[in-house]
Each structure stands twice: as structure tokens, then as C-alpha cells.
A and B are shown apart, each in its own frame.
Chain A
């Protein structure tokens, strides 16, 4: 019997329908504008696709979980947290997660958006795998299943015991204030663990790519084998690029941009100005990045320090994109958004992604 933590952010997604680009901090405004809850419906789709056996829920009282479980006829659950106020908040999400961790949950499944993902990750980091049922206005983080039904498939597989594959997935921090003002400012908030089934709903006979960590190490070995001592390498954020730093036995920031040359860490957690300064000192530069987030942004989400100004100096051929085959499979298209549309177009309609030792995939690119 698997123990699944189940949390609904009852307000997730409300801002979307009324044009608020997110609901963080403006639930009342959304209500005034006529918004109605979205996430209970998504939770219903998830629960109605889930078998009623083999799973025991740990949940939150009322609208944050228990109500939906009762409505869908689930009786095997335990309330581990009860919100104190009338309105629930991100603090309730975090406290509920901690209570679930205390009760040894095998997985925390949440129904919400990027804000909820950030709250869940903030509470439990990588201690417990997490999975999101997409219900928010913004779904940039890659911790979400593609649909509520896909989430149910993953959980079903997990409770059947046929499951041992987990993957790294970025939780993105999106500044909603700036987002509402028309600027999408993102950075990687953290890297969570998610249960991973390749193309979980497509085919009975799945293709197996092998262990994610092992594949990251393959990529790292290859990249290290082609590194030249006369070249500066900017390592982007994410666990695949971190594997490259690990292979070089260098500390790295994981969530920022680091610079490496001749096996030495030249600078870490660089901002755009820091990168531009380095470019005045190095003639040969390569930029190694991994697609980030559910949509697969090569540039423009989580690594906005690699700006159009930077790319104009290095040239777009300096870019080396790396990603594991599993990540590429769940990311059908890649995106480039470096802030300069003319430069974006120069990348063309496909991009080569290093996905193993001396192996790459050509992926369709959108701008």
C-alpha cells in the first residue's frame, strides 16, 4: 500500500480566466472579477481516473483535499493537517507538506500551479518525490504531469509497485508582479524529484532510456572530453549541467550560471553584467545549457542571464544544448526566447541537443 500526500490549492488557476496572469496575492481581486475555482475540477479529473485500491491518502481537511476525496468516493485517507483560517494560504500548503513528510508519504501530489510547486518544494526539497496536477495559470515548472489523467496513470503505476524511475525536474520561480506587468522573469527555484514514466499515456510498451543520473553522467563525460583548455565554458543552470561540473570535480551553483576554463572554476552565479565582463577577457567561449521547465526553454526561462547581448558577442554557434533522452521525450519542442526576436530567428527551426556520449537528437525549435 502506497501512501500518497494529496493537496489542492483551491485558488490555483482562478486568476487565469480573469486575466490576472496568476493568483498569488490577489485571490480577492480574482473573486471580484468573477473567477471561480479551477483546481477542484482538475482534482476531480485526477481522482476519477484513479483506481480505488492500493493507495492510502494523507490529505488536508476541507477544500484542500478531503472534500474532493469524499466526493469521488475515496474512504482510505487520513487528514494530517487542518488549516486554521477561513482562507487557505501558501503557509498551509507548506505545513501540510511537512505533516505528510512526518507521516512518511511516498509521494506528494498537489493540484495547483507554479506557485504551489514552489511552496511544496520549499517545504520538502528532494526529501519526497512530488508530482503536480496542472491547475494553475502558469505551468512553467517541469514537475507537472501533462494532464490530470496522466498524473493518475503515474500514481496508478506507482501504487502497483512497478515503478523505480525518478527524474530531476526544475521548479521555476516566476515573479508574478513582473509577469502581470508584461515581463516574464524566471529563475530556477530548485530541482525536485518526480516519478517518471516516459510518455505515460501513449503506449503499453514503453521505451526505456535507463537511469537519469547515469545518462547525465554520459553527457558529462562526453562534454568534458571535448572541452579545450583555451575556451571559456559558461555552464547554465540545472542538474544535467551540474553533472558536467561534477565530472570536472568543480563546485557549482546548480541554479545559476558558472564559468569554467581549463578545468578551473573562473566565476560562479554570474549575472548578465558578469558574463559580459568575462567575454571581454576570453576570445573562445561556449555556452552549455539544458532546456528548462515544462515547455523546454533552451533560453529565456531560468537562465535569462544568457541574454541577447551575451549571444551577440559569442555568436549563436557557441551554444551547446544538453539534455537526457527522457527529458527530451517529455519535451516535444524546444523554445528559444533570448529577448531579441531577430536573434531568436537565427536559431532556425531545429537545434541539436547532446543527449549522451557522442550522441545527439535534433529537436524542433519554436520561437
Chain B
């Protein structure tokens, strides 16, 4: 019984898969935040390098991964695919459970897959400094790691709630030479405005994005970088799903169910898009499930509409499932995945019913995480544990029906910096937050009208 399925280094994918080429209909275009007209590539040049803008709008099915990017990805890629024999045995399920493990990257998550690529293109176009936001710190530490390797400066606006709760993530950023400040910060107009309105705010990803975008737009040598949501970010993550397909083929397995946790959507996209392609091409009928927190159920309870990517309304308007750009999930919600919107590409697939979604409460998520850690050994990040919750539920369904389904999920990172959340779980201090969907329909009237 093979446990680890390992690809040779020369099997590292040479191209990213761009699902825009295979959508049932084109994505609705991003809109300019002021004019509300479709965005032109030039509108993005103040904060993004030209090649990433090209990728954002590209209809090419495959896009070459530069050798300089592959060279760095080889530090930890191809990532292993594990067969979760011990979890299967514990659950007494006939299901076969496989998981990609992205926690092997130096920052410990899937995020560097795009951080490396984005930093590379910025460096090639002469940018010296990158500004970004981070929630739990996975993205910030990944970008700090990438910018250090390319000799660039990095400033990270970290959601204050996480900044206070997760000191070691900011230490990682410091080790990799980045400057990390709590957001909202006094360093930007957006941050100052928010602090004036509410000095005690725990911050949110939307506020931090506003700060980072403003930083990039007001410094000539600085660009902005986003760790999720955008098309090119999802594109860079497809390396995960492509590797998984090769690895499953090595053991003659095909996935019946693919499960990924979804916050902004890039981890889910990276795992799922190559499998969605096979479904679109009628090569398979895989169930593809996005899992999100009940506290921030963008796909399951949100509205599919144009909305800003940030609180201040500085970013382009994107057609996506959204809970409203001013939505700030409680900082005590320990599971991450707190972004108000969902990647337009993931949203489009959901609207076209090519994927499904479900939401879970954080206590059941941590319960699954502990089960996983006690069987497979790896302590998962709470974000990844959302997927694990549904994997276990699906495996238990198989136990009832006797079906030997093959389930694949992405264990997107380790939880070594999330132990305070585990502590809160063990102490019974994690409330199960829930989005009051029926009442919320009223509050979505604040969405910008187009």
C-alpha cells in the first residue's frame, strides 16, 4: 500500500492551466471603480506588472511557467500526494482518501506558488518594492519569502486581529526581510480613516487591501500583489491540481470527489480547475466541492454581483459571490477564510453549476483537524481543515453506502502557527459563528450599483 506518491522534479508542470479558455461563457469584465466602465489593461499598470495584467485577461489555455520560477518552485515542488490510509482505517470507510500536502513549502502553505511567480514578473519589469495585505499571515510570509529570494523590498499590512494573535507569522516576515505592520495602520489614508472611525477595530482583509493598494499607487517603485481572488493567482495555483492528476494516475486512481477549502478561492481553484476541465471536456464526472466557513459563507449565502475587492472601494469592481465589501467577520473566528468575496473564476463556475459549495462551523472543523492530526500526523492549518471536515463527512457517507469513492483534497498548509486557535478549541472557547442569511438579504442593498 503506497502512502506517498512522489513526482520526479522533471515532472514539475511547465505550464499553468488557464480555465478562462474553457468557461461556458466569458467572465464578466472587471469594472473601473470610478467610471464603472470595463477596465482597460492600462488601468491596472499603476499597481501590477504588464505580464500579470496579460495573464489576468488571457484566453490562452496554457501559459508557460518561466524557468526562473520553476527553479525556485523546485525548492519544495512537486509536493507529495498522500494516501490517507490511517484516516481511512480510523473512519472504517471504503473510500480512498488522497491529499496533496502544500505544507512542505518553506512558508508552510500553497501561497508561495503564486508569490514566486508574481514577484518574478515584478522584478523583471523593474519594480523594487511590493506592498500587500495578509490575513492569518500565510500570504504575507509567502510574499516576504519570495521578495527576499529576488532581492526586493516588501511591506505587509497584516489584519490587526491576526497580527495580535499570531506573532510568529510576523517574525517569519521579519526573518525574510519584510516590514509587517498591523492594519489599519497610520501609514495610509485608508488606514487613518478607519482608525479615526474606530480605533479598536480588529481590521479586516478588505481594509488591509485598501492600504496596500494605496501604498502601491502612491509609490513609483512599488507594485501591489494579491494572494488570492484574481485570475492570475488562481492560474499560478493550478500547478497543484495538475500534479495531483499525474500522481493519481501513477496509482491508477481517478477522483470521484475533489474538495478544497475556499476563502478568496485560489487554493480551491488551484486544486479543482484541472478537474473542472476534465468535467467540461466530458472526460469525467467528478463532484467538485468548495468548503467555506459558516461565518463567512460567500458562495453558499452570498450574492453574485459586482462588488469591490476592498473596504474603501479602491479596487476594480469584480463580478463575484460576495457578502458585501464592508463585511468584517469576527476576529475570534479562528478558521481563517475570512474574505468577503470569492474569486470571479470560482464564482463563475459556481454560478454555472460546474462546482458546488457547502459551509461548516468552526468547532466541527477543529474536530476534523484533530482527527486528522491524530491519524495522519500532520496538524493542518484551520483553513485546510474546512476541507478535511467535508472529506470525513463524505467518507462516512461512503461507509454507509459501501461506495469505494476516491476523494481528493488539498491539505493547503500546516497549522503550526495556529496552535492558539487549537488551544481555544480545546478550552471550549470557540463560538460557532453563523451568517444570518435571511436577515442579511436586506444588508446587501449596500452593494454598488452599476
Q: A residues within 8 Å of B by Cβ?
A: 198-199, 202-203, 205-211, 214, 222, 225-226, 228, 320, 325, 328-329, 352, 354-362
Contact = CB atoms under 8 A, between A and B. Distances in A.
Given A320-B439, A359-B434, 20 more contacts: A202-B428, A203-B424, A206-B429, A209-B332, A210-B200, A214-B200, A225-B442, A225-B443, A225-B446, A226-B439, A228-B442, A352-B434, A354-B436, A355-B431, A358-B323, A358-B327, A360-B433, A360-B436, A361-B432, A361-B433
Contacts of A209: 332
B442 A211 contact: no
The 7 closest A-B pairs by CB, nearest first: A226-B442, A203-B427, A360-B436, A207-B429, A225-B443, A361-B431, A360-B434
Contacts of A358: 323-324, 327, 435-436, 440, 443
B330 A356 contact: yes
A202 B328 CA distance: 28
B423 interface: yes
Interface residues of B, number: 30
A359 B436 CA distance: 6
Interface string B264-307: 00000000000000000000000000000001000000000000
Contacts of A198: 429
Contacts of A325: 330, 332, 431
Nearest to A210: B200
Nearest to B331: A210
A352 B439 CA distance: 11
A176 B265 CA distance: 59
Nearest to B443: A225
Contacts of B420: 205
A203 B429 contact: yes
Nearest to B445: A225
Contacts of B433: 355, 359-361
Contacts of A206: 429
Given A203-B427, A225-B442, A214 B198 contact: yes
Contacts of B440: 226, 358
B103 interface: no
A362 B432 contact: yes
Given A205-B423, A358-B324, A360-B436, A222 B329 contact: no
B296 to A, nearest CB: 9
Nearest to A206: B429
Contacts of A361: 431-434
B30 interface: no
A359 B332 CA distance: 12
B427 A202 contact: yes
Contacts of B427: 199, 202-203, 205
Contacts of B202: 210
Contacts of A203: 423-424, 427, 429
Contacts of A355: 330, 431, 433
Contacts of A228: 442
Contacts, number: 78
Nearest to A207: B429
A6 B443 CA distance: 48
B338 to A, nearest CB: 11
Chain B, interface SS category: loop
Nearest to A222: B443
B435 A360 contact: yes
19 contacts: A199-B429, A202-B428, A202-B429, A203-B429, A206-B429, A207-B429, A208-B332, A210-B202, A225-B446, A226-B439, A226-B443, A320-B439, A328-B431, A354-B439, A356-B330, A359-B435, A361-B431, A361-B434, A362-B434
A236 B140 CA distance: 45
Nearest to A198: B429
Contacts of A362: 361, 432, 434
Contact of A329 (B431, B435, B442): B431
A46 B430 CA distance: 29
Contacts of B446: 225
A320 B428 CA distance: 26
A82 to B, nearest CB: 45
Contacts of A329: 429, 431
Interface in B415-430: 420, 423-424, 427-430
Contacts of B423: 203, 205
Contacts of A354: 436, 439
B424 A207 contact: yes
Nearest to A208: B332
A328 B429 CA distance: 11
B303 to A, nearest CB: 12
Interface in B359-388: 361
Contacts of A352: 434, 436
A360 B424 CA distance: 19
Nearest to A227: B442
Given A202-B428, A359-B433, A207 B332 contact: yes
Contacts of A207: 332, 424, 429-430
A220 to B, nearest CB: 13
Contacts of A214: 198, 200
A329 B433 CA distance: 12
A325 B443 CA distance: 21
Contacts of A357: 327-328
Contacts of B361: 362
Nearest to B324: A358
A357 B433 CA distance: 12
A24 to B, nearest CB: 36
Nearest to B340: A358
B240 to A, nearest CB: 31
Contacts of A208: 332
Nearest to A320: B439
Contacts of B327: 357-358
A189 to B, nearest CB: 29
A152 B323 CA distance: 44
Interface string B90-118: 00000000000000000000000000000
A214 B201 CA distance: 9
Interface in B300-327: 323-324, 327
